[in-house]
Structure 1
Amino acid sequence: MPGKQLLMIVGDFGEDYEIMVPFQALQAVGHEVDAVCPGKEDGDTVKTAVHDFRGDQTYVESRGHDFQLTASLDEVDPADYDGLVLPGGRAPEYLRTYDEVLSTVRHFFEADKPVAAICHAAQILAAADVIEGRTCAAYSALEHDVEDAGGTYHDGVTTDGNLVTGRDWSDHVEWLSQFLDVLGTDVQHGEPAVTEPAED
């Protein structure tokens, strides 16, 4: 089965793991992923942030990697993509203020295409008015945001129709697994290849 064309919307200080892990993992199973950011072009970078949980009332944040974009948001057509990925972190807080981000998100819901959103990405979903009547997960502090947008908050990875949501990067395995199911991805597991060391 051929891989799908996926779009990922990122921004400065998006969560490092929630950008890097799905970007690489989805490509590893044969999908193509274009990462875009409003106001930036193909080849530009966004700065990521690592959020860690160390027993405090909320996460701590440290500087992550520079992540290179693969396309320009103003040049892509959402109709060309089979699915959408929305990472969390601090970026969704301001990404939700861009009309082109919200219209892009709405396209995937109107066309009933697979959408994977995690952590603070629920802020974008709420701003795009696509949560109403749906059950979704998000970072725990966003429970009221989900409910205020007409959704039902779930404390764990959930699939509701085309929408797959998770709480934070600790949900990656189940979140990505459920998203691959919604995409219709058939991952074949065979015997691992054994490479003999080269002789001197």
Structure 2
Amino acid sequence: MGKQILMIVGDFGEDYEIMVPFQALEMVGHEVHTVCPDKEAGETIKTAIHDFRGDQTYMESRGHDFELNATMAETEPSDYDALCVPGGRAPEYLRTHEPVLEAVRHFFETDKPVAAVCHGPQILAAAGVLEGYELTAYPAVRAECEAAGCSWVDGVVTDGNLVTGQAWPDHPEWLSAFMDLLGDEVSHGEAFAAADD
């Protein structure tokens, strides 16, 4: 049976880290509500595409407009089974909104599944929920995560209710781990292996 999933997004969140999880989770039967502080259902956010081209950090280009399908001020975290926190530049300012932090705290206090990728753990750090966890994130925010009391792990990691990945190249493993927490049956590449025979 599909779950109700809350996804917190904002302007210049990473395009792939919003679009891909939203579509993949909906595809397997979950209902994903996308919200942004100070915006209502039907409004859009602007996404950004972050690419790695041999520089010391990523390059950013304008992504798509992404339409919100719920209004944050009208949502109750207790109505949701899980939380998804994409990365990009949005987390650096989303973490300054107290309703965002309150929503995040609910999912940790109730031990519901949480998936965060790239810069998404910045929001979790600001919410004060990372003490004792093992996690990963975009490597440039490692110090911030460790200062929040967690242990760093390279690569996708699941620790209790929390699944984290470093960036959108981790999607196959990160989404698979999140879907495991949601109770979905995930083949972990078996279908691809059969096609190669």
Q: TM-score, normalised by structure 2?
A: 0.94
1:13-162 maps to which residues of 2 (within 5 A)?
Answer: 13-162=12-161
Moved beyond 2 Å, runs of 4+: 186-190
The Cα offsets for residues 37-80 of structure 1, whole Å up to 9 and x where unpaired, read as: 00000000000000000010000000000000000000011111
Q: For 1:120, what is the secondary structure of its paired residue? A: coil
Q: For 2:55, what is the secondary structure of its paired residue? A: coil
- Structure 2 Cα separation of the partners of residues 122 and 34 of structure 1: 19
- Structure 1 Cα separation of the partners of residues 9 and 153 of structure 2: 24
Q: For 1:112, what is the secondary structure of its paired residue? A: coil
**In the alignment, is the contact (CA less than 8 A) between 1:159 and 1:165 conserved in 2?**
yes
- Structure 2 Cα separation of the partners of residues 45 and 59 of structure 1: 24
- Structure possessing the higher radius of gyration over alpha carbons: 1
Indicate yes or no: 2:172 matched with 1:173.
yes
**In the alignment, is the contact (CA less than 8 A) between 1:136 and 1:152 conserved in 2?**
yes
Q: TM-score, normalised by structure 1?
A: 0.93
Task: Please report how far the alpha carbon of residue 187 of structure 1 lies from its aligned counterpart in structure 2 after TM superposition.
Answer: 4.8
Percent same amino acid among aligned pairs?
67
**In the alignment, is the contact (CA less than 8 A) between 1:50 and 1:62 conserved in 2?**
yes
1:11 corresponding residue in structure 2? 10
- Count of matched residue pairs: 189
Task: Please report how far the alpha carbon of residue 185 of structure 1 lies from its aligned counterpart in structure 2 after TM superposition.
Answer: 1.0
Task: Please report how far the alpha carbon of residue 122 of structure 1 lies from its aligned counterpart in structure 2 after TM superposition.
Answer: 1.1
The Cα offsets for residues 117-171 of structure 1, whole Å up to 9 and x where unpaired, read as: 0000111010000111001110011111111111111111000000000000000
Structure 2: segments with no counterpart, 5+ residues: 192-197
- Structure 2 Cα separation of the partners of residues 145 and 156 of structure 1: 17
The Cα offsets for residues 52-109 of structure 1, whole Å up to 9 and x where unpaired, read as: 0001000000000000000000001111100000000000000000000000000000
Aligned Cα RMSD in Å? 1.2
Structure 1: segments with no counterpart, 5+ residues: 191-200
